[in-house]
Amino acid sequence: MPDDRFESNATTTCGYCGVGCRLETHARDGRIVSISPALDGPANLGHTCLKGRFAHQFTRNRERLTTPLIRGEDGELHPATWDEALERIATELTRVKTQYGPDAIAGLASSRATNEDCFVMARLIRAAIGTNNLDNCSRVCHSPTSFAMRKAFGLSGATGSFADVDHADAAIIIGANPTAGHPVAGARIKQAAIRGMRLVTIDPRRIELADYGVLHLSPRPGTNAAVVLGLAHVIARDGLVDQDFVDARTDGFDALLDLIADYTPQDVERISGVPAADLEEAARIYGEAEAGCLIWGLGVTEHKYGSEVVQLLCNLAMMTGNIGRPGAALLPLRGQNNVQGSSDMGALPDTHSDYRPVDHEPTARAFEAAWGVPLSRAKGLTIPQMFDAAIGGELRAMYIFGEDPAQTDPNTTHVVHALESLDFLVCQDIFETETTKYAHVVLPAASFLEKTGTFTNAERRIQLVRPAIDPPGEARTDFAILSAVSAALGHEMPYASPEDVMAEIAALTPNFAGVTYERLGRRGLQWPVTADGIDAPILYADTFTTANGLGHFAALPYQPPGSEASDEFPLILVTGRRLEHYNAGTMTRRTANLELLPSDVLELHPDDAERLWVTDGDLVSVRSAFGRIELHAEVTRKIEPGHVFTAFHFPEVRTNLLIGSSADVNTSCPEYKVMAVDVRPVSEVPARVPALVAGD
């Protein structure tokens, strides 16, 4: 509601995670004074976390980019005018395109930016440059979810809403820590458990929600598939299959039955370490529920077989008929605020908006008619392929928009080598980052609190974003920057505002056909939205959207992870998030949240600490086959023996130096969650093994 104590008030959508909390912003003298939760926000119901409510000071941090920067002959970045920056970009990209062809250029879209920004970025890369070399950070987080859910059900999104948690009798959370990564959703799950929902948590760490559940399973990292196959075995063995649902609405069940016969609880215990009795109890809790939810995060997807595990989770839902009705939802917890939307918009190398293949002729012709240029039908490069191509000399230029791969992507040494190999790199961001160190031009952008558009949250809810303040200095909105760059390259976009972009999205994207800013209002709409504005809080009530209308079971066996403990690297590193910070920490480390958590630690179990002669607070070395870092130890029973844990919010730690090139077999999503490491006190590290570089 408007508040007369402030010069301006705006209702917007939070830009910190995929929950999509609605916020009321209050500003004075061009600065945000306070933020409070919107009482009618459908995802947050009047709540918000400490990031959404308090971590807004970054908007006027002295380190904000406020003018374009161009790297000079001295190797340093210097302030420049917008005309100079745009001319340099147009000249260099045109040179590369002319000399090497359009496929020598690639773009990364931002999952922190709006749907409209990502759609315009897709048009810039496809129409102004002429390539499908376009990707976004879903490649390194939830691309396995998208792949698996499309194969199993037809659409790339949650089957229900956060509200389904309120109506569930039981829920399984696997590979996610919602109270840290998605705090408002985590609190909603906690409240449901307190009211009586039977909650099972599955994670190598004992997460906070385990204290509110009826059962916690701690599998060895990389054994999720065996655990889920074991759950399916017990559900089938104990007569908990909804046979009517299976017979009427699915195919492939017999092949699954043949496979899961080999995954008895005892077999799964040998693979995963999960006690057979606990596995049986977890299966019965979910299988006997009238309505059960499945909730997962990056602890499922960021594995070599992450996409296969998501397909196995889809199997559980179909076996029990837990899909297409209230309280029976599959809810992938999306990490960044618009990682769902950036992919929905076609910021991917192989699909236009709505996940329609770039070589699908009717779709390609529709975009050509709207944009007035011929479009390539060839699939573009994924993020890992881009970096390989840069090192190989095939990729000569990149436009990186709102992402920091030099910190967030795996095998950091390889990423830096790729960035250094480029002839030309443009970065568009709100701060200088690890990636901008290698840029030739840096463009100052607007934060989510300074722009207009829409985000799509983890429940497929499209919600309005409204500016609370103006961008600082000469910084511009991403929509304005991308439009100007496209025009400088000779492709004028006709949009006067982001609302015009959404009108074109609706015209070209069947699942967004009825989306307008007016219809979105304060509560948003969950796609698909029909032309008359009717949305879909629950998917698949009557049929699936696969080619034959049936849900597809996947008979996929357990396979070991890409990294396993050895004599040289006896511990397994698991990475995740901390409550106080967000992703690369670009925003939260420039707020008072830094006082709450000024640095990170390595969690290790007391048994391992004693064996390694490590005490709480010691500086330790963590070494993998790919690199070495140093950080302080925290001895805790939250982590199981044989495992260690840290996050990746602090650039000085450089956690991703440890992560190698192992990736999901279907989507190239990196295997962040399983990395064999050696841990020892820094005093014992040989002087020849430097920190922050590749290992010997």
pLDDT digits (tens, 9 = 90+) for 373-396: 999 999 999 999 999 999 999 999
Band the pLDDT of 582: cuts 50, 70, 90. low
Instruction: Return mean pLDDT, the chain.
Output: 92
Find where tokens 């649902």 sit: 245
> Is the pLDDT at 687 greater than 60, yes or no?
no
Band the pLDDT of 3: cuts 50, 70, 90. low
Which tokens go with 95?
Answer: 């040179």
Read off the pLDDT of residues 95-123 as tens digits, 9 standing for 90 and up: 999 999 999 999 999 999 999 999 999 99
Alpha-carbon distance 84 to 90, whole Å?
10
Q: For 663, which DSSP code?
A: B
Torsion angle of the four alpha carbons 181, 183, 186, 190, in this order, in degrees rounded to the nearest 10: 140
| Side-chain-side CA neighbours of residue 163 (13 Å) | 13
**CATH T-level assignment (fold) for domain 571-684:** Barwin-like endoglucanases (2.40.40)
Residue range 127-144: average pLDDT? 89
pTM for the model: 0.93
Question: Was domain 143-332 assigned CATH 1.10.8.620?
Answer: no
Residue range 640-661: average pLDDT? 81
pLDDT of residue 694: 34
- Chain centroid to Cα 48, Å, comes to 20
644 DSSP β-pair partners: 573, 604
Read off the pLDDT of residues 431-485 as tens digits, 9 standing for 90 and up: 999 999 999 999 999 999 999 999 999 999 999 999 999 999 999 999 999 999 9
Which tokens go with 245?
Answer: 């649902």
- Top-tier CATH class for 69-141+337-526: alpha beta
pLDDT of residue 485: 98
Band the pLDDT of 693: cuts 50, 70, 90. very low
Work out whether the CA dihedral 85, 88, 93, 96 comes out positive or negative. negative
- Taking 3-state DSSP, the helix, strand and coil percentages for the chain, each rounded to the nearest 5, stand at 35, 20, 45
- Chain centroid to Cα 140, Å, comes to 7
> Is the pLDDT at 2 greater than 60, yes or no?
no
pLDDT of residue 650: 72
Question: So where are the chain's domains?
Answer: 69-141+337-526, 143-332, 571-684
Choose between 435 and 668: higher pLDDT: 435
Residue range 266-292: average pLDDT? 98
Buried b (16+ CB within 10 A) or exposed e, 181-196: bbbbbbbbbbebbeee
Read off the pLDDT of residues 281-322 as tens digits, 9 standing for 90 and up: 999 999 999 999 999 998 898 888 999 999 999 999 999 999
